[in-house]
Amino acid sequence: MEPFLTALAASTTPHTLYAMLLGSLVGIVFGAIPGLTYTMALALVMPFTFGMAQVPAIGLLLATYIGGMTGGCISAILIGIPGTPSTAATVIDGYPMARKGQASLACGTAIVASAFGGLFSLIIMVLSVKVISRVAIAFGPAEIFALVVFGLSTICGLSERSLVRGLIAGVIGIMATFVGQDPIDGVPRLTFGSTTMLQGIDIVVAMVGLFAIPQVINTLREYYHGGAAKVDPQSVKVELPSLRLLWKNFSVMVRTSALGTVVGLVPGAHGPVAAFLAYDHVKRFAKDPEQFGKGDIRGVIAPECANHAVTGGAMIPMLSLGFPGDPATAIILGGLLIHGLQPGPLLFSEHPDIIYTIYIEIMIGYLMVCLIQLYGVQLFVRTLMVPPHLLAVGIMVMCIVGSYAIRNSFLDVYVMLGIGLLGYVLQRVHIPVTPIVLGLVLGGTMEREFRTALLMSEGDPSVFYTSPTAMMFFALTILVFAAHIIGQRRGAKKARRQVA
Amino acid sequence: MSEHVRDRIVGTVLVAFAVVWCIVVRTTVPTAYGDAIVGPGDAPLWLGMVLGLLALLLVGRSFTEKAAPAIDAGEAIALPDAADRASEWKAIGAVAGSLIVYALFMEWFGFVVATFVIVFALLRYGLGVRSTRVLLGMPLIMSFGIFYVFGLLMGVYLPHGTVISPF
């Protein structure tokens, strides 16, 4: 009890709370602006922690992480451009809700769902950190590869009536990850001798282009076609989610948060995978799946709960084993090391107060970010009062800033534009762009883990079918694709009968 | 243009792309080193083949399916067929042109000057805005505002010009 009380006292000092407030705000801003990532925010706030005491320093890093994770949903819902890769799935239903005049309801629900997912995974982390960390190390390259393949099965849900089109988009996304330096041998691929191309296509740059450029072109097209659009004041009414609405979707929140926590455990699979899997899961088991994609609140709740539940899952291997699952937790790990803390099994026995501090600060971080954002909803939705053609100009500027700032490279700006124009053409020919993002997210991990597994097994492919975990994910993938194809055929037959 | 004809064109373009992709991968990327059975060029080659097969399937289905395929989920912006083509090309030109010029200006003159000039030009000449408040206010906020908040307060690196660099 004493370590807990010590941690509670240290985590609630004004100094720590100020640091966390600052981190939350910086994180929210970086998360909300497409192209600026919370990893970048963490890297930028890290030097500020050098002169700080342990507890406020950890609080600043954790709050920045949480704020950045949560902020991404705002731009996803309001302007249809995900602030972070994890919120790409939120666009599918969040943006249609905003277009129906339910922007604040969607934002408010996403914020509450995010906090719920994060706190849910925190509870799981507190209760089972040691047990779950054993599960995390049981995931080798073959199992991660199988999980990623299973993640690709969500393409079925994203391309409901034309699986071929969805698969084409997914394959294009995976192919884009091959440009640049090969992840295992370091061989340049499809760079055509250019050294700047060695860095490959950044997922955030591609995402900004895919979502923002078609949006801007369409807004300007409508403007040129019919003049300045009148802003509907109804679209900025502030309506937060009621307790009844949240209770009605409670099971969705619990299921998708549990899914996110499990996905968070697996290194290299994280937010976007969890969000897409959760979206697909909820849509697949809904009584009215046809409502998804048209502005269904469950399509906002599921990805937001799942991608925040990942935080707890990602923290478990970092704290208990000392290995980070993604770049953001790697920076947090670096912050802990700088302050003389070595994550791993010894941290639990030697510094239980620090472990409790981390738990408490994650909780405070989520509550703080939730309150800031709920208060800010009325401000965020005012973005919709700006005439669309002027907003489009602002989005263009932010696209440039965001895509340049990722790696300080002008090549990224041109890549963003090229991918954006491609995205526009694909939308015009009815090829969905969301599976491209999925392919971009999963492609690199899929190839790396596949080849690593084969290297470790000295070329023996049985590594994939002798692992029960890998086999389970492969079986689930086949099941999902089979169920989708059978469902499609039944639907087509039914439609033909109705016509007859 | 019907859905089927469009699918045939899209499928053919994708098949051609997949063939070119496979040839480029096969000729420029090594397949495997040493004892490794899968090398840097294998996965790109396989995926190129998969894309080609899927594109052929798209073309094939356009001959066998009777009803036009429905619009997929995830297409956030479905455009009406009757929409004005001229407006579309104008919008594409405005976006692509201004972003290319913007990136070039930013390289030469830095973020602040390039943003001010491009936002002003786009508002005045691209969108025909006449309000002085918008014409001056928006470029100022977008250039100096972003430079102050992100560049100075948050420490995000914004480009300095190679020709002139006042900020």
Residue A229: per-residue pLDDT: 62
Token output for A479: 């099941």
Higher-confidence residue of A498 and A281: namely A281
* Beta-carbon pairs below 8 A across chains A and B: 220
Note the pLDDT of residue A492. 75
Q: Is the pLDDT of residue A410 over 70?
A: yes
Q: Which comes out higher in pLDDT, residue A156 or A199?
A: A199
**Per-residue pLDDT for A148 more than 80?**
yes
Q: Which two tokens stand for residue B68?
A: 């036009």
Give Cβ neighbours of residue A193 (< 8 Å, ≥ 6 apart): none
Residue of B nearest to A76 (CA): B76
- Tell me how far apart the terminal alpha carbons of chain B are, to the nearest angstrom: 51
**CA distance to partner chain B, nearest, from residue A341 (Å):** 27
Which residues, 6 or more positions from A260, have their beta carbon under 8 angstroms from its beta carbon? Answer: A117, A121, A274, A275, A278, A305, A306, A307, A308, A309, A310, A313
What ipTM score was computed for the predicted complex, to two decimals? 0.86
How far apart CA A57 and CA A50 sit, in angstroms, is 8
pLDDT at A157 exceeding the cut of 80 = no
Sign of the CA dihedral A239, A76, A311, B149? negative
What's the rounded Cα separation, in Å, for the pair B76 and A129?
A: 40
Copy the structure tokens of residue B118: 């491009």
Banded model confidence at residue B47, pLDDT cuts 50, 70, 90 = very high
Measured between beta carbons, the chain B residues lying within 8 angstroms of A450 are 38, 43
- State mean pLDDT over B129-149: 90
Distance from CA of A213 to the nearest CA of B (A): 8
What average pLDDT does range A233-238 have in this prediction? 62
For the CA atoms of B109, B110, B115, B118, the dihedral, rounded to the nearest 10 degrees, stands at 30
- For residue B17, pLDDT over 70 is answered with yes
Nearest beta carbon to residue B74 from set A92, A174, A454? A92
Residues of B with CB below 8 A from A64's CB?
Answer: none
Which tokens go with A244? Answer: 């009844």
Inter-chain CB proximity A405 and B70 less than 8 Å: no
Residue A500 has pLDDT above 70, yes or no: no
- Hey, what are A374's tokens? 């709920």
- Has residue B68 got a pLDDT over 80? no
Alpha-carbon distance of A107 to A110, in angstroms, equals 5
- Closest chain A residue to B89 measured between Cα atoms? A221
- Whether the pLDDT of residue A210 is over 50: the answer is yes
Does the pLDDT value for residue A364 go beyond 90? yes
Long-range own/partner contacts, residues A330-339 (CB < 8 A, 24 or more apart):
A331/A39, A331/A42, A331/A43, A331/A46, A331/A61, A332/A42, A332/A61, A332/A62, A332/A65, A334/A46, A335/A46, A335/A49, A335/A57, A335/A58, A335/A61, A336/A58, A338/A49, A338/A50, A339/A49, A339/A54, A339/A57, A339/A58
Q: How far is B36 from chain A (nearest CA, A)?
A: 6
Question: Who wins on pLDDT, A485 or B1?
Answer: A485
Of A271-275, A433-437, B154-158, least confident by mean pLDDT is B154-158
Report CB contact under 8 Å: A158, B96: no
Give how far the C-alpha of residue A222 lies from the chain's centroid of Cα atoms, to the nearest Å.
Answer: 31
Whether residue B74 and residue A293 make contact (CB cut-off 8 A), yes or no, is yes
CB A190 within 8 A of CB B62: no
Position with higher pLDDT, A37 vs A457:
A457
User: And the tokens for A446?
Assistant: 């899929």
Q: Chain A: nearest CA to B164, how far in angstroms?
A: 17
CA distance, residue B92 to nearest chain A CA (Å): 6
User: Residue A432: which of B74, B107, B156 has the nearest Cβ?
Assistant: B74
Helix (H, G, I), strand (E, B) or coil at B133: helix
Of A40, A168, A410, the CB nearest to B103: A410
- Quickly state the pLDDT bin for B75 (edges 50, 70, 90): very low
Task: Give percent above pLDDT 70 in chain B.
Answer: 85
**Nearest CA among A394, A85, A390 for reference residue A211:** A85
Q: Looking at chain A from residue 156 to 175, which residues have their Cβ under 8 Å from any Cβ of chain B? A: 157-162, 164-168, 171-172, 174-175
| Chain A positions in Cβ-Cβ contact with residue B155 (cut-off 8 Å) | 44
What is the pLDDT, as a whole number, of residue B73?
A: 44
CA distance A167 to B47: 11
Reading the block at residue A242, the tokens are 């009621």
Mean pLDDT computed over A419-437:
89
The string of pLDDT tens digits covering residues A298-322 is 999 999 999 888 877 777 767 776 7
Chain A residues with CB under 8 Å of B60 CB are none
CB-closest option in A175, A223, A413 to B47: A175
Split at pLDDT 50, 70, 90, the class of A133 is low
pLDDT at A325: 63
Question: Which tokens is A250 given?
Answer: 């409670």
Question: What pLDDT, on a 0 to 100 scale, did the predictor assign at position A491?
Answer: 75
Per-residue pLDDT, A208: 85
Q: What is the per-residue pLDDT across A463-483, written as a single tens digit (0 to 9) for each?
A: 888 888 889 989 988 988 888
- What is residue B83's predicted lDDT score, i.e. its pLDDT? 57
CB of A467 within 8 A of CB of A140? yes
* Reported pTM: 0.80
HEC assignment per residue over chain A: CHHHHHHHHHHCCHHHHHHHHHHHHHHHHHHHCCCCCHHHHHHHHHHHHCCCCHHHHHHHHHHHHHHHHHHHHHHHHHCCCCCCHHHHHHHHHHHHHHHCCCHHHHHHHHHHHHHHHHHHHHHHHHHHHHHHHHHHHHCCHHHHHHHHHHHHCCHHHHCCCCHHHHHHHHHHHHHHCCCEECCCCCCEECCCCCCHHHHCCCHHHHHHHHHHHHHHHHHHHHHHHHCCCCCCHHHHCCCCCCHHHHHHCHHHHHHHHHHHHHHHHCCCCHHHHHHHHHHHHHHHCCCCHHHCCCCCCHHHHHHHHHHHHHHHHHHHHHHHCCCCCCHHHHHHHHHHHHCCCCCCHHHHHHCHHHHHHHHHHHHHHHHHHHHHHHHHHHHHHHHHHCCHHHHHHHHHHHHHHHHHHHHCCHHHHHHHHHHHHHHHHHHHCCCCCHHHHHHHHHHHHHHHHHHHHHHHCCCCCHHHHCCHHHHHHHHHHHHHHHHHHHHHHHHHHHHHHHHC
pLDDT of residue A469: 87
For residue A55, count other CB atoms closer than 10 A to its CB.
25
pLDDT for B113: 92
For residue A232, name the pLDDT band (cuts at 50, 70, 90).
low
**How far off is chain A from B163, nearest CA to CA, in Å?**
16
Give the pLDDT of residue B74.
Answer: 45
Average pLDDT score, chain A? 84
Hey, are the CB atoms on B77 and A450 less than 8 Å from each other? no
Work out whether strand A188-189 and strand A180-181 pair parallel, antiparallel, or are unpaired: antiparallel
Residue A238 confidence (pLDDT): 67
Q: Write out chain B residues lying below 8 Å of A433, CB-based.
A: 74-75
With CA atoms as reference, the chain A residue closest to B27 would be A190
Give the per-residue pLDDT at A40. 77
Residue indicated by tokens 């909780």: A363
Higher pLDDT, B136 or A332: B136
Residues with Cβ within 8 Å of A326's Cβ and at least 6 positions away in sequence, in order, are A267, A268, A270, A314
Answer yes or no: are the C-beta atoms of A241 and A105 closer than 8 Å: yes
Distance from CA of B166 to the nearest CA of A (A): 18
pLDDT tens-digit series, residues A102-132: 888 899 999 999 999 999 988 887 887 666 6
- Contact criterion met (CB below 8 Å) for A193 and A19: no
Tell me the average pLDDT across B132-137.
91
Cβ distance B40 to A459 less than 8 Å, yes or no, reads no
| Confidence grade of residue B71 (pLDDT, cut at 50, 70, 90) | very low
Quote the pLDDT of residue A252.
Answer: 93
Mean pLDDT throughout A77-90? 84
- Work out the angle at residue B130's Cα, subtended by the Cα atoms of residues B127 and B136, and round it to the nearest 5 degrees: 95
- Structural contact between residues A31 and A70, judged by C-beta atoms closer than 8 angstroms: yes
Model pLDDT, residue A170: 92
Are A143 and A468 within 8 A, CB to CB? no
- Cβ distance A185 to B40 less than 8 Å, yes or no, reads yes
Nearest to A266 by CA among A328, A319, A316, A320: A316
Position A425 scores a pLDDT of: 92
Distance of CA B114 to the CA centre of its chain: 21
Checking if the pLDDT of A20 tops 90, the result is yes
Cβ-in-10-Å burial (0-12, 13-18, 19+) of A425 comes to: middle
Most confidently modeled of A122-126, A204-208, B113-117? B113-117
